[in-house]
């Protein structure tokens, strides 16, 4: 990670200090890093005496509910439940803090209010190719584990925290540790020296990591493990190019009572096979197929997502979508599409 310039920290402190109304926005279908960084930002601002609100496009998955304490319920709003209020909150704020996404369209329905909002905007993100021109202040760093770690690096340098993680407060520290833990797949990917320093400092400050791990990884229903077995045994295909892919349709998800977040982490599993260099999970959604891509070093999930799946992300972890009908005629065509485009991608020297 490049060192964060102290001038930008001052600007961050000035902008948050001056703002009367602040909203926090993150990407659609929020994951642990999106909710972790948003909740941490919320608590930091509350400590400053502010009244921030978190505006989401979709509800957060239940495995993250431990981060959203009851006293926050009036300050967190979902487009799904209150579309008009969510848009008005964004447009009416004089400061909008955007976490864990690199372009407005990653917020789905919040894209238009974000583009129309006249309030100042701050970006804190770790994805490739950020739209910096849309923001008054950007913290964009790709050599870092997560948006939560980047936020930690900012908050720890503020005068409010004074390089003492204890002064972040327990809720803020716990949310930051959660976001970093989920985005690194529990320290398996994207771990930098700064990531371990952060973890060490947060542990020393009293963050209860056992509690976090228990909430994140030991609270699923039996159905999730049964679904995983079915996916790995019956649905996973491996192409001669070394691409493992799984197409998961809605009927199967209904059969197993699958909820949002239940398939978290499954896309990583096929990478444990020696001959697999890239893994793709295609999940049926309303008018699209949601795509998750993971790759081993030397193969770019980001390039593949950008070129063939209307998406992007990080070098070895990316996502996107296929429009139905559009990119594919129907769901049944998704497997053939994945086989065709990954063959082109992996055999085109320049692309990966
Ligand atoms: P996941 O597979 O967990 O949904 O996403 C993997 C990573 O790629 C995450 O960091 C996520 O934010 C990012 N990502 C997913 N979809 C997109 C997309 O459409 N565009 C961009 N730029 N990043 C994405
Ligand atoms: Mn992230």
For residue 293, give the CATH number of its domain. 3.10.310.30
In a domain, 1, yes or no: no
157 and 24 inside one domain: yes
Structural domain boundaries enclosing 121:
6-217
* Residues facing 289 on adjacent strands: 284, 322
Beta 237-238 vs 137-140: how paired, if at all?
unpaired
Q: What is the pLDDT of residue 3?
A: 79
206 and 241 inside one domain: no
Distance CA 328, CA 314 (A): 25
40 and 173 inside one domain: yes
47 and 178 inside one domain: yes
330 C-alpha to ligand 2 centroid (Å): 30
Q: Strand runs (DSSP E) across the chain, as ranges?
A: 22-26, 53-56, 76-78, 95-99, 120-125, 137-140, 237-238, 243-248, 278-284, 288-295, 312-313, 317-323
In a domain, 140, yes or no: yes
pLDDT > 60? residue 155: yes
69 and 162 inside one domain: yes
- 293-351 tens-digit pLDDT: 999 999 999 999 999 999 999 999 999 999 999 999 999 999 999 999 999 999 986 55
Pull the structure tokens for residue 334: 């998704």
- Band of pLDDT at residue 281, cut at 50, 70 and 90: very high
Q: What is the pLDDT of residue 350?
A: 58
Going by C-alpha positions, the residue among 207, 90, 106, 76 that lies closest to residue 152 is 207
27 C-alpha to ligand 2 centroid (Å): 9
Closest ligand 1 atom to 34 CA: 12
Closest ligand 1 atom to 101 CA: 12
Q: Say if CB 55 and CB 107 are below 8 A apart.
A: no
163 and 233 inside one domain: no
Average pLDDT rounded to a whole number, residues 238-266: 96
Closest ligand 1 atom to 281 CA: 2
Answer with the one of 217, 243, 267 that is the final residue of a domain: 217
Pull the structure tokens for residue 138: 């950007």
Cα 76 to Cα 50, 105, 283: the distances in Å are 14, 20, 27
Distance CA 235, CA 327 (A): 22
Pull the structure tokens for residue 48: 């400053």
Cα 325 to Cα 92, 180, 344: the distances in Å are 37, 36, 22
212 and 257 inside one domain: no
Answer with the one of 217, 240, 271 that is the final residue of a domain: 217
Q: Strand runs (DSSP E) across 42-155, as ranges?
A: 53-56, 76-78, 95-99, 120-125, 137-140
In a domain, 240, yes or no: yes
pLDDT > 70? residue 272: yes
114 and 247 inside one domain: no
Specify the number of domains making up the chain. 2
In a domain, 265, yes or no: yes
32 and 148 inside one domain: yes
256 and 148 inside one domain: no
183 C-alpha to ligand 2 centroid (Å): 6
Ligand 1 first shell, C-beta below 6 A: 27, 31, 102, 106, 127, 292, 311-314, 317-320
Kindly report the CATH number assigned to the domain that includes residue 133.
Answer: 3.90.1640.10
Distance CA 306, CA 284 (A): 19
Q: Say if CB 276 and CB 328 are below 8 A apart.
A: no
Looking at ligand 1, which residue's alpha carbon is closest to its atom 12? 313
Looking at ligand 1, which residue's alpha carbon is closest to its atom 19? 311
122 and 235 inside one domain: no
16 and 144 inside one domain: yes
Q: What is the pLDDT of residue 81?
A: 86
């Amino acid at each position: 990670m490049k060192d964060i310039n102290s001038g930008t920290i001052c600007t961050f402190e000035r902008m948050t200090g001056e703002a009367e109304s602040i909203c926090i926005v993150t990407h659609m279908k929020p994951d642990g890093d999106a909710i972790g960084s948003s909740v941490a930002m919320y608590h930091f601002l509350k400590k400053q005496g502010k009244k921030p609100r978190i505006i989401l496009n979709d509800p957060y998955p239940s495995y993250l509910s431990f981060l959203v304490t009851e006293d926050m319920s009036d300050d967190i709003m979902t487009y799904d439940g209150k579309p008009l209020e969510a848009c008005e909150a964004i447009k009416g704020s004089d400061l909008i803090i955007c976490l864990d996404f690199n372009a407005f369209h990653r917020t789905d329905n919040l894209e238009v209010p974000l583009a129309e909002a006249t309030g100042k905007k701050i970006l804190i993100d770790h994805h490739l190719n950020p739209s910096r021109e849309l923001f008054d202040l950007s913290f964009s760093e790709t050599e870092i584990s997560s948006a939560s770690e980047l936020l930690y690096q900012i908050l720890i340098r503020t005068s409010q925290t004074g390089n003492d993680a204890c002064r972040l407060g327990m809720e803020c520290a716990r949310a930051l540790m959660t976001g970093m833990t989920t985005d690194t797949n529990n320290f398996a990917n994207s771990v930098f020296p700064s990531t371990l320093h952060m973890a060490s400092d947060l542990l020393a400050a009293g963050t209860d990591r056992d509690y976090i791990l228990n909430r994140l990884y030991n609270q699923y229903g039996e159905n999730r493990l049964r679904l995983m077995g079915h996916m790995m045994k019956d649905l996973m295909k491996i192409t001669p190019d070394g691409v493992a892919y799984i197409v998961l349709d809605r009927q199967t998800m209904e059969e197993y009572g699958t909820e949002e977040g239940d398939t978290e982490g499954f896309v990583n599993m096929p990478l444990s096979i020696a001959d697999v260099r890239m893994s793709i999970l295609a999940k049926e959604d309303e008018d699209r197929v949601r795509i998750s891509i993971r790759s081993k070093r030397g193969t770019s999930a980001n390039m593949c997502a950008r070129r063939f799946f209307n998406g992007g992300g990080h070098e070895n972890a990316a996502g996107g979508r296929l429009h139905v009908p559009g990119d594919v005629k129907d769901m049944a065509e998704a497997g053939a599409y994945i086989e065709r485009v990954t063959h082109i991608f992996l055999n085109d020297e320049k692309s990966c």
